[in-house]
Structure formats: structure tokens, C-alpha cells
Amino acid sequence: SQELEQSPQSLIVQEGKNLTINCTSSKTLYGLYWYKQKYGEGLIFLMMLQKGGEEKSHEKITAKLDEKKQQSSLHITASQPSHAGIYLCGADGNKLVFGAGTILRVKS
């Protein structure tokens, strides 16, 4: 079964700083999805990447897919307190599987 490993597990950044979260798959990625979750709440779908080399942006969040490395990265530019939360990557194997999540805290 497909497994997704996220790094780092948690991250504390100063407001205004950039950061990157990585997601590595144990199998070939045919699509990679990023979600954000506020603690104890539902998931919010951020973006979907389906092609090698694809890069998508949503506001100050950019995600890239490197098919060869079976990896995706999520980059946040000029972080703000509103970016705080748990970021999960997901992949569609036989079912939707998630990485363990990266907890992001942004210090004002």
C-alpha cells in the first residue's frame, strides 16, 4: 500500500518568513493533493498536482510535484498567522491516503 511521509513533523516560523513542507511517497505518484486542517476541524482542500513538474499557487502557497523523486513540496511565502494549522498531503491509491501531517505555527 502507498505510504506518504511528511517532513518536518512540526514547524515554528516567525511571521513573514518563508517555509517549505515536503511529502514523499513510497510509490509512484499519479496525483498529489494538499490539504489544510485547523486543529480539531475538517480538512480544506488546497490544491491538486497531477503532472510531473507541475506547479500551482494559491495566494501565498505554492506546491510542486516531482514525479521522479516521488515527492511534492509546499512552499509558503511571507507566512502569516492565518497560515497556522496542520498541512496534510494526500494521494489516491486504492483509496485516499494521507501523510501524518505537518503542524505549522506562526509567531507574530
Tell me which residue of 63, 79, 78 sits closest to 6, measured CA to CA.
63
Rounded to the nearest whole angstrom, what is the least distance from the CB of residue 42 to another protein in the complex? 3
Rounded to the nearest whole angstrom, what is the least distance from the CB of residue 18 to another protein in the complex? 25
How many contiguous H segments (helices) and E segments (strands) does the chain have?
0, 11
Rounded to the nearest whole angstrom, what is the least distance from the CB of residue 92 to another protein in the complex? 5
Residue 36 CA to residue 27 CA, distance in Å, equals 23
CB within 8 Å of 94: residues ≥ 6 apart: 1
Q: Which is nearer to another protein, 31 or 66 (CB)?
A: 31
Residue 46 CA to residue 63 CA, distance in Å, equals 10
Rounded to the nearest whole angstrom, what is the least distance from the CB of residue 99 to another protein in the complex? 6
Using CB under 8 A as the criterion, which residues of the chain lie in contact with another protein when the complex forms? 31, 33, 40-45, 48, 88, 90-92, 95-96, 98-101
